[in-house]
Amino acid sequence: MSAICYKSQQLDLIVLVSFNHLNKDGRLNLKKIRFFKNLEDVINCLDENQLKLIKNQDLNKFNTIKDLIKLLTDYFSGKSINLTEEINSLNIEIDLNKKFKTLFSQRVIRTVMQLKRGEIATYSEIAEKIGSKAYRAIGNVLRNNPLPLIIPCHRVVKKSGDIGGFMGNTNKEWQQNLKRSLLQLEGVTSI
């Protein structure tokens, strides 16, 4: 599996995109998009996941990844784009059924993907939409989301109005600030 890494100029984060090269139908298989506070964490992730980092001079071989990075950069600069639709127009495969194997997790993800830019929902509202009371289980599904922004888990907040978690618990304060920044980029000011 390969990866490309770049620093966002708009937000204080490093973006790591991992992918498999072309599959049998010629599409690039997007595996994960991860956000990091520092380069040390990126290096640890590369080592732990045995990812091969693509060098900038080799990036020309991967026009689809260059287009994806442009989309992410546009998003971080505040442009109003629907990442899911834009990525679908690129030659990128995102097989949600492989990433989310249970019917419950698939229902959670599909519901979250219906949230529009600037729209937020609570964990309990997501649970209600899918006919469940398993709020914590919904949080666990979203914590393991390999494609934040595409599956906009940052748009799900606590019922109390607190921001809630984002991407697990490795650096909770930084991750919550990132979630808040993403929501502010989308025009949400009440969090």
Q: What are phi and psi of 147, to 5 degrees?
A: -130, 60
Does residue 39 sit in the same domain as residue 78? yes
DSSP notation for 82-130: -HHHHHHHTTEE--HHHH--SHHHHHHHHHHHTPPTT--EEHHHHHHHH
Task: Tell me the CATH number at 115.
Answer: 1.10.10.10
Q: What is the pTM of this model?
A: 0.88
**Would 171 be classed as within a structural domain?**
yes
- Active site positions, annotated: 153
Confidence band, pLDDT 50/70/90 cuts, at residue 23: low
Last residue within a domain, chosen from 76, 93, 110: 93
Lowest pLDDT segment from 55-64, 67-76, 99-108, 123-132: 55-64
HSE, CB side, 13 Å, CA atoms: give it for residue 68: 32
pLDDT band at residue 165 using 50, 70 and 90 as cut-offs: confident
Q: Residue 190 falls within a domain, yes or no?
A: no
Whether residue 81 sits in one domain with residue 114: no
Q: What is the mean pLDDT of residues 27-49?
A: 89
**DSSP-assigned beta bridge partners for residue 7:** 14
pLDDT cut 70: percent of the chain above it? 93
Structural domain boundaries enclosing 48: 2-93
